[in-house]
Structure 1
Amino acid sequence: MPSNSKFSYIHHEIVPVENAFLHVRDLSIQRGYGIFDFFKIHDGHPYFLDDYLDRFYNSAAIMHLTVPHTREELKSVIYTLIEKNDIAESGIKMILTGGYSEDGYQPAEPNLIITQHSLTLPGEDQIKNGVKIITHEYGRDLASAKTINYSIGIWLINKVKESKAMDVLYHQHGIVSEFPRCNLFIVRKDNTIVTPAHHVLHGITRKNILKLAAKRYRAEEAIVTLDDICQAKEAFLTSTTKRIVPIVQINETQIGNGKPGEVSLSLLKDLIALEDADYKAKVF
């Protein structure tokens, strides 16, 4: 996710990117303590901003961190940064750190950092042909908070590449949860759409897919096992930057007929239409 932005927000002001620094005493550096969130921008419009701010403030509360702005103040900063950077297609990352800790362990006054990045969506090949995923036994700490701790996901990057896979799915004793940066959905043979209910981050795209799916199919949050995925008609992953990507293989097992399915692709069209509607509702 390369950045071609000129400005970032840090220490209560918008500054040139080259002047945006944290001191080494920050608890994000010392202990990896902090939260973040990320949302897409199209033509100056942040998609589903209120949903992302809800999650950001909720993550902060879970981690006992205080966001140093009201929602309206934070929105004002975001829109000002978007205007100054003037990047048509991009993403905004908000990071709230543990602050400049005196002893390298106790949280202090949080530091809020907001950066803007150019954005790349999944390639046509991934949508047309689907992707392979692998699995790893692991459960993320404090899964309902979007923390900055991605140690295991980053540690597994080489394994994912060696397996010629796109991503790695976490599970514990065969019960699956999530990917490092995505949520999972499966489509049962009766077209019921299911996403893991527990020990997952409640993704905004996940939320939108559940609503969209419920208009056409039965949609539910439930326990999903590795065997459920292998027996599924279809599977797909979702995230802010990936939207929907069909999954056609898990480890060495083919899912369904080994091709992206009708349900997955139809939901992708619905999601794109929902994004368009959100844009038009705010801009026109």
Structure 2
Amino acid sequence: MDIYYVHGEFVAEDQAHISVNDLSVIRGFGVFDFLRTYNGVPFHLDDHLKRLERSARLIGLKLPHSRAEIKGIVEATLARNDHQESNIRIVVTGGLSSDGITPGDSPRLLVMVTEVKKMPAQWYTSGAKVITSHVDRFMPGAKSINYIPAILCQNEARNQQAIEAIYVDRNGFLLEGTTSNFFAFIGDALITPPCDRVLPGITRQVVLTLAEKEFPIVERQLHKDEIRLLDEVFLASSVREVVPIVHVDSIQVGDGRPGSRTQRIMQLFRDNTVSFQG
């Protein structure tokens, strides 16, 4: 059974509890971050912890430990589990409140380590489908635990045999997936929405760093009307890594197969993670 860290204690998953009066439960107030290991090593842990700090700062939540202390707790929790590769979810809850809404001084840290599950191989060999959803993410720079819009959009995606929903703002611009960043090729130019409009994904930044050696990078808004002009599309995230997309809504992307440029990005990412040592 997986071992979690819960507010000062390492406990078995079925013994992991927090108060029902925690603000995360009664108000949905909290932040989290998510990453995985490669070769047993947390992938860009420092970057994820920096983002956790930023998320907490944006919503006015005080972290219960320093970044260095949280890093040590993550590593200690990982060491108590025995998976070939692990997912790591770091959650900071709002803690208890004197009036049930005002944050107090008792935020709680949770670290949950689980086994990495493989995604369907067909996504990577044949490509997948996404849909678009007209939703403006509240405070996109913060990775908060408020996932109601994402859950609703994901349910609709599943209903349409898609693996993800891409948020579209009120002006028709494509933003990001519910749990991923969005990329497209027009010719050799790799295009992705700018960071001030989306959550700054850690995998997103790794992809851009790898890709800039071979492709011109353009960070700009992409309008929904441009979908038919896109030669290739892919998503990037900690869970899915790099996934080629061959349909957006009912529109076929390119020739309906993973494109050569996307396959090159996939290879660059694989090479990077295979050799990752921190």
TM-score by length of structure 1 reads 0.93
Aligned partner of 1:32 among 20, 28, 32: 28
* 1:10-49 deviation line (CA, Å, top 9, x unaligned): 1222122222111111111111111000111234311111
The amino acid that maps onto 2:136 is G
Aligned-pair CA distance for 1:227: 2.1
SS at match of 1:248: strand
Aligned to 2:186: 188
Aligned-pair CA distance for 1:72: 2.0
Paired residue total: 275
SS at match of 1:269: helix
Q: Is the 8 A contact 2:38 2:274 kept in 1?
A: no
Aligned partner of 2:223 among 222, 225, 250: 225
Please tell me whether residue 211 in structure 1 is matched to residue 206 in structure 2: no
Q: Is the 8 A contact 2:85 2:115 kept in 1?
A: yes
Structure 2 CA distance for aligned equivalents of residues 203 and 157 of structure 1 = 19
Aligned to 2:84: 88
Aligned partner of 2:54 among 58, 69, 72: 58
Aligned to 1:271: 269
Trace 1:13-52 onto structure 2 (pairs within 5 A). 13-52=9-48
Aligned-pair CA distance for 1:87: 1.5
Aligned to 1:107: 103
The amino acid that maps onto 1:69 is H
% of aligned pairs identical? Answer: 33
The amino acid that maps onto 2:32 is F
Aligned-pair CA distance for 1:139: 0.8
Structure 2 unaligned regions, length at least 5: none
Aligned-pair CA distance for 1:278: 2.5
Please tell me whether residue 123 in structure 1 is matched to residue 120 in structure 2: yes
Structure 2 CA distance for aligned equivalents of residues 210 and 157 of structure 1 = 26
The amino acid that maps onto 2:20 is V
Q: Is the 8 A contact 2:233 2:244 kept in 1?
A: yes
SS at match of 1:85: coil
Aligned-pair CA distance for 1:220: 2.1
Q: Is the 8 A contact 1:132 1:165 kept in 2?
A: yes
Q: Is the 8 A contact 2:153 2:178 kept in 1?
A: no
Structure 2 CA distance for aligned equivalents of residues 163 and 116 of structure 1 = 31
Aligned-pair CA distance for 1:71: 2.1
Trace 1:148-159 onto structure 2 (pairs within 5 A). 148-159=145-156
